[in-house]
Amino acid sequence: MFRAAHAHRESPPEPIDHHDLVLRPRDVTFHWSATPLHWLPGEPFATHTIDVLHLMLPELERWFVRTFEQALPLITDDRLREDVRGFIGQEAMHAEAHQEVLEHLLTKGLDPAPYTLQSEWIFRRVLGDRPELTLAAAHAHLLQRLALIAAFEHFTAYMGHWILSNEHLDQAGADPAMLDLFRWHGAEEVEHRSVAFDLLVHLDPRYRRRVVGMLVTAPALTRLWIRGVRFLMAADPELDDRIKVRFRDYLAATRKDLLPPPGAFTRSVLRYFRPGYHPTQEGSTQLAVAYLAASPAARAAAQ
Amino acid sequence: MNTITPVTRPPDLYGRPRSDSFMQKLAALSDHAVTRLARRTTPHTPPRRPPATEMPVIRELVVAAKHQEAEDVVSLRLAAPDGAILPPWQPGAHIELHLPSGRKRQYSLCGDPADRYRYRIAVRRIANGQGGSAEVHDALTDSMRVAVTGPRNAFPFAAEASILFIAGGIGITPILPMAREAARRGLDWRLVHTGRSRASMPFAAELAELAAAAPSRVSIRPDDEFSAPETADLLNLSPAEGAVYCCGPAPMIDGVRRAFGDSRASALHFERFAPPPITDGRPFELQLGGTGRVLPVPHDRSALDVLHEALPDLPFSCRQGFCGTCQVRVAQGHVDHRDRRLTATERAAGAMLPCVSRAPEGQRLVLEV
């Protein structure tokens, strides 16, 4: 499927990392008519664990866009401003791409609305603007939310790198369009992985700020994810309603390398707490750049 | 998408007649954080870190050398006036030159990334161009100063195991450092350089040097000796599952993109350029609010460019009518929609993407800003 990028493992001098990439959104289109509900054949649990992203991301990424738009006037560094503009456009395209999958789920008889209504409420009401705040308090509120976003972006970069370097999903017969969506998305997450962190540090360099962001984000995201898997397994018209979701299903899927392993995932979260942490230390853009040139959707994009 | 709809507390995930306790907890946590913020009496602005880039974004460089590289092609070597070290770059990177006339032009770096004291660019004179290349040729001379931003990279090199480089004419500039890097890494690579004639193709000596070290990897194909190549023939030089890097005139890139699907290659890299020029644009006017300023939009500029000057914090991103970030609301006036994003309902509600959409000649759009 995606041999071009894996091929360098045989003769690697040193990986290339690009820190000066021009970030631009890509005008991608996906077609879902040939994609089955269980796009990892015979693996409903792994499918739905990854599918939680479709439920969460459209509203999550629109919230990123709205929050970053508010931060834009505060930026005093021209280059960071350019990066934030590129980030906003990429996130807006991600949100729309996942939104279309929600419509596809509905045509397959899975109604995602109960969960997406909750996403909408969380990212618009709970984490949205609070008009009652004074100017100074609203600024602090913005910083809090930027700290949450920087922490979220640590996860998206981790998962982006994971899906780009994973060959077992191809071997498991994953639907090509769905894999392309997640790898295109993952590649852009890796491409722009420093932007949210740089923006936070630009506006508030304190260690405490970013640590609090991760302390709130990590448990909330874990809980939302588990709820999402339970919901999708229950709402799936092709599965028996009595199926229980168990932790060992997750472990079994990670042993087949169909989901990120818990150990590596946890260690990656812990690295965020190191005082000298910077997103560029996580993963490299080489796989991302190679995939964006190989991705059918990204290659077909007009620009 | 940008309009925030009031959202009421959502029902339970499984339709049970009770409120969701996790949702309640999340809301309570957030409300608590917000209440604590609101109680703060002293306005507290955290210390701001100096700009993330330690070096200035716009720097002045001096033309250290100017060479004729081929018919109509000159190269410039640029250095810091005080001989200081320059920001690092990687193959595919470009800088933007701010010419004395105020024109800004982007040129790929074509020198050696290991030389940390000089950048090299090469420019072909475009006879019927907009004057940028002529200015570089005629007005920039040795030891003249020129403002530069970058380097930035919109054509990154991923060092795949097997690679075909296709360069058309002056398009060799970003490819040359990539080919050197591929050679240095011991990758399996090929390079084709096409052009009108040998005399018009720059860097022949440097390519010959590369070819000498790597026999049969470099082919130089001037049209007057080989006849203009078919794109598919060029792509046939790609190894199976190889990556193609293409830089050249727009028709060449379009041709390669069209023929790519039938080739054996698996990845295509080409430079993603800034938005295409406005076609069929007519002058019109924008009015900021019911009683606000009126801004004329000339035929060759987008409404977004004009708005951005007046409102520097206006969000935008793709500038090509697909990401939707720059959306504004039109209170009055007829919009000529040219975007690929907005739905009929959104348009009917007054949404407009000013990065591409316009108004009929001489008409005025009143924006809610």
pLDDT, position A282: 86
Determine the structural domain holding residue A185 and report its residue range: 41-300
The answer to whether residue A32 is domain-embedded is no
Which residue's entry shows tokens 């472990």? A251
In a domain, A2, yes or no: no
Are A79 and B37 in contact (CB < 8 Å)?
no
Partners of B96 in the beta sheet?
Answer: B106, B149
- Least Cα distance to A7 among A159, A172, A167, A168 occurs for A167
How many angstroms away from the CA of B135 is the closest CA of chain A?
A: 26
Instruction: Give chain B's domains with CATH numbers.
Output: 58-153 (2.40.30.10), 162-270 (3.40.50.80), 284-367 (3.10.20.30)
C-alpha distance from A41 to closest chain B C-alpha (Å): 25
Looking at the complex, report in whole angstroms how far the Cα of residue A42 sits from the nearest Cα belonging to chain B: 25
Query: Measured between CB atoms, which of B11, B161, B317 is closest to A11?
Result: B161
The whole-number average pLDDT for the span B238-253 is 90
Average pLDDT over residues B237-258: 89
Nearest CA of chain A to the CA of B15: how many Å?
Answer: 8
Is residue A11, in this structure, part of any structural domain at all? Answer: no
The predicted pLDDT at position A6 comes to 44
| Chain B residue numbers touching A220 (CB-CB < 8 A) | 26
pLDDT at A12: 52
The count of domains in chain A is: 1
Chain B CB within 8 Å of residue A209 CB: yes
Give a yes or no: residue A23 inside a domain. no
Mean pLDDT to the nearest integer, B2-10: 60
CA distance A66 to chain B (A): 8
> Which of B14, B29, B153 is closest, CB to CB, to A21?
B153
Q: Which of B32, B37, B98, B164 to mutate to test the interface with A (most CBs of A within 10 A)?
A: B37
The structure tokens listed for B167 are 């360069």
Hey, are the CB atoms on A92 and B323 less than 8 Å from each other? yes
Interface size, chain A vs chain B, as Cβ–Cβ contacts under 8 Å: 228
With a cut of 70, say whether residue A83 has pLDDT above it: yes
Would residue A184 count as lying in a domain? Answer: yes
Antiparallel, parallel or unpaired: β B118-124 and B73-79: antiparallel
Report chain B residues whose CB lies below 8 A from the CB of A279: none
Interface contact A114-B30, CB threshold 8 A: no
| pLDDT at position B214 over 90 | no
> For chain B, what is the mean pLDDT?
88
- Which has the closest alpha carbon to A125: A117, A135, A136? A117
Q: What is the pLDDT confidence band of residue B21, given thresholds at 50, 70 and 90? A: confident
> Which of A153-157, B13-17, B166-170, B194-198 has the lowest average pLDDT?
B13-17
Closest residue on chain A to B256 (Cα): A299
Q: What is the pLDDT of residue A210?
A: 93
| A118 in any annotated domain | yes
Question: Which residue among A11, A132, A216 sits closest to B38, beta carbon to beta carbon?
Answer: A132
User: B4, B31, B49: best mutation site toward chain A, by most A Cβ within 10 Å?
Assistant: B49
The letter for the amino acid at B6 is P
Average pLDDT estimate for A83-107? 96
Residue A184 predicted with pLDDT over 70: yes
- B-interface mutation test, from A17, A142, A227, A303, most B Cβ less than 10 A away: A303
Angle at B3 (CA atoms; ends A303, B9), nearest 5 degrees: 125
Q: Which two tokens stand for residue B265?
A: 């290659």
- Residue A36 located in a structural domain: no
Q: Which of residues 60-99 of B touch A (CB under 8 A)?
A: 89-90, 93
Close Cβ partners of B46 (under 8 Å, ≥ 6 residues apart): A143, A203, A204, A205, A206, A209
Closest residue of chain B to A5, computed from CA coordinates: B160
pLDDT of residue B44: 56
pLDDT, tens digit (0-9, with 9 covering 90-100), for A23-51: 999 999 999 999 999 999 999 999 999 99
The pLDDT tens digits of the residues spanning B30-66 come to 988 888 887 765 555 555 555 444 445 778 999 999 9
B32 touches chain A (CB under 8 A): no
Is B24 in contact with B102 (CB distance < 8 Å)?
Answer: no
Domain-located, residue A124: yes
Which residues make Cβ contacts (< 8 Å) with residue A253, sequence separation at least 6? A43, A45, A46, A49, A259
Q: Is B49 on the interface with A (CB under 8 A)?
A: yes
Average pLDDT score over residue span B138-147: 91
Task: Give the Cα-Cα-Cα angle A147, B41, A216 (nearest 5 degrees).
Answer: 25
Confidence (pLDDT) at B7: 64
pLDDT band at B277 (very low <50, low <70, confident <90, very high): confident
**What are B165's two structure tokens?**
């480089």
Q: What is the pLDDT of residue A108?
A: 96
Of A20, A128, A129, the CB nearest to B151: A20
- The reply to whether residue A290 touches residue B158, judged by beta carbons under 8 angstroms, is yes
Quote the radius of gyration of chain A (alpha carbons, Å): 19
